[in-house]
Amino acid sequence: MSVSVKNISKFYGEQPALDDVSLEIKTGEIVGFLGPNGAGKSTMMKIISCFIPPSKGIVEVCGYNVMLDSIHVRKEVGYLPEHNPLYLEMYVKEYLEFIAGIHRIRSPWKRVSEMIGMVGLGPEQNKKIGALSKGYRQRVGLAQAMIHSPKVLILDEPTSGLDPNQLEDIRQLIKMIGTEKTVMLSTHIMQEVEAMCERIIIINRGRIVANDKTGVVRKKAETGTGNVVVVEFDKTVARNQLTPLKGIRDAENIKGNFWRIQATGKEDIRGIIFQFAVDRNLQVLTLQKEEKSLEDAFKELTGKKG
Ligand code: ADP
Ligand code: MG
C-alpha cells in the first residue's frame, strides 16, 4: 500500500475541511481525486505530502507515518501544489538545482539534466521561468516534484489553466510517469479521469462520496436515475401519449419531434417506444440510449444537479 489514510479530519480553526476520510492507494495506481471547489482536495493532498498536519486520524505513505516520520514521507512523496508556485525570476536550471540542493541530491547537475529530458523541457531549459508558457511551467513543476525520485506523486490540479494542446501534452506526460509511480491527481475535468485514471475518488464537503473503478462510478449514476432514450418520430406526438406507457417515468420534448424519454428503472425501454410507434402508425427516425457520463455521476454524487 503506497498511501493509507485512516479516519482523517481536518479543521482550520472552527472550519471543518475533512470529516473522517479514509482511503487507500495501492502501489502503481493512478487515482483521480475529484470534487467541487472547497471539497477538501487540496487539504487532503497537503496532509499526505506533510505540508500540514491532520487534526485527527492517521496517514501513512509507504508505511511511514506523516506525523511521526515526516522526513521519510517527504523522501517518498513528490508534490505539485495547486497553482504551481514557482520563482519566476529564476532560470529553469537554477531553480531545479536549488530544489535538488534542498533534497541533498548528489551530482545535482546530472540529475537536473535528466529531469529536463524526462519532462521535455529541453528547448526551454535556458530560459527564466517567468518567460515560459503555462504548459512549460507545469513541466518545471513536475520536474521539481520528481527530482528526488519519489515513489508517490501527489498532483493538485496539474492541468488547470492549460490550453487544449498543453493539456494533451501534460496528460501524456503524467500517463507516462504513471507507469512507474503511484499517482494521485486532483482535477475538475471528467474526461481527464476517464483518460488517465483507473480509479476515482469523489469528495464532497470533506466526505468521500464515491471510491471505485471509473466505469463502476459511471454505472452507479445510471442506476440512480434510470435509463434515458432519445427518439425522433416522423409526426407530432403529445407528451400525454408517452407518459402513460409502462416503464416510462417522464418524457420531454427536445425540439420538433425529438423526445427525451426517461425510464422508471434500469430496463431498456426502446422496445416499448418502438411498439408505441408501430401501434400508432408512426415511424421511428432515431432511437438511441443516452449514455450517462462520468460528469452526470459527479453531479449526482455531489448534489450539483440542475
Ligand atoms: P479544494 O482543494 O477541494 O477546493 P480545499 O482543501 O482547498 O478544497 O478547502 C476545503 C475547505 O477548507 C474550504 O471550505 C476552504 O475554504 C477551507 N480552507 C482551506 N484552506 C484553509 C485555510 N488555510 N484556512 C481556513 N480555511 C481553509
Ligand atoms: Mg484545491
Those residues whose C-beta lies under 8 Å from the C-beta of residue 40, and which sit 6 or more positions away, are 10, 17, 18, 21, 203, 205, 206
Mean pLDDT of all residues in the chain?
90
Q: Is 38 in the pocket of ligand 1 (CB under 6 A)?
A: yes
Q: What is the mean pLDDT of residues 241-261?
A: 93
Cα 205 to ligand 2 centroid, rounded to whole Å:
12
The pLDDT value given to residue 88: 93
**In the predicted model, what is the mean pLDDT of residues 32-46?**
94
218 contacts 294 by C-beta, under 8 angstroms: yes
Residues with CB under 5 A from ligand 2 (ion): 41-42, 82
The pLDDT-based confidence of 304 (bands split at 50, 70, 90) is low
pLDDT of residue 1: 84
Task: Determine the pLDDT at residue 109.
Answer: 93
Specify the range with the lowest mean pLDDT, choosing from 22-26, 72-76, 160-164: 160-164
Q: What is the pLDDT of residue 248?
A: 92
Bigger pLDDT: 31 vs 306: 31
Contacts of 246 (CB under 8 A, 6+ apart): 272
pLDDT at 44 over 90: yes
Q: Are 185 and 32 in contact (CB under 8 A)?
A: yes
* Residue 217 confidence class, pLDDT cut points 50, 70, 90: confident
- Provide mean pLDDT across the span 12-23: 96
Q: Domain 3-220's class?
A: alpha beta
The reported pLDDT for the residue numbered 158 is 92
pLDDT band (50, 70, 90) for residue 225: low
Q: What is the Cα–Cα distance from 225 to 280, expressed in whole angstroms? A: 28
Third-level CATH fold of 228-292 = Alpha-Beta Plaits (3.30.70)
**Under DSSP, is residue 227 helix (H, G, I), strand (E, B) or coil?**
coil
Is the CB of residue 39 below 6 angstroms from any atom belonging to ligand 1?
yes
pLDDT at 306 over 50: no
* Beta-ladder partners of 32: 185, 200
CA-closest residue to ligand 1 atom 7: 42
Cα 173 to Cα 193: distance, rounded to the nearest angstrom: 14
Q: What is the predicted pLDDT for the residue at 139?
A: 93
Q: Distance between CA 159 and CA 53 in Å, rounded?
A: 26
Q: What is the pLDDT of residue 232?
A: 96
Q: Is the pLDDT score of 60 beyond 90?
A: yes
Q: Where are the domains of the chain?
A: 3-220, 228-292
Q: 266-298 pLDDT, tens per residue?
A: 778 899 999 999 999 999 999 988 776 677 777
Binding site membership of 37 for ligand 1 (Cβ less than 6 Å): yes
Q: How far is the CA of 84 from the centre of ligand 2 (A)?
A: 11
Q: Whose CA is nearest to atom 24 of ligand 1?
A: 12
Judge whether residue 115 has pLDDT over 90. yes
Predicted local confidence at residue 102, as pLDDT = 93
pTM: 0.81
Predicted confidence at residue 223, as pLDDT, reads 57
Phi, psi of 12 (to 5 degrees): -100, 100
Q: Write the DSSP symbol of residue 91.
A: B
Task: Report the pLDDT value the prediction gives residue 155, as an integer from 0 to 100.
Answer: 96
Q: How far apart are CA 291 and CA 229, in angstroms?
A: 9
**pLDDT confidence of residue 292:** 67
Max CA separation in the chain (angstroms): 80
Question: Mean pLDDT, to the nearest integer, of 121-133?
Answer: 94
CA distance 74 to 77: 5
Q: What is the pLDDT of residue 97?
A: 95
Q: Identify the band that residue 117 occupies on the pLDDT scale cut at 50, 70 and 90.
A: very high
Nearest protein CA to atom 27 of ligand 1, as residue: 12
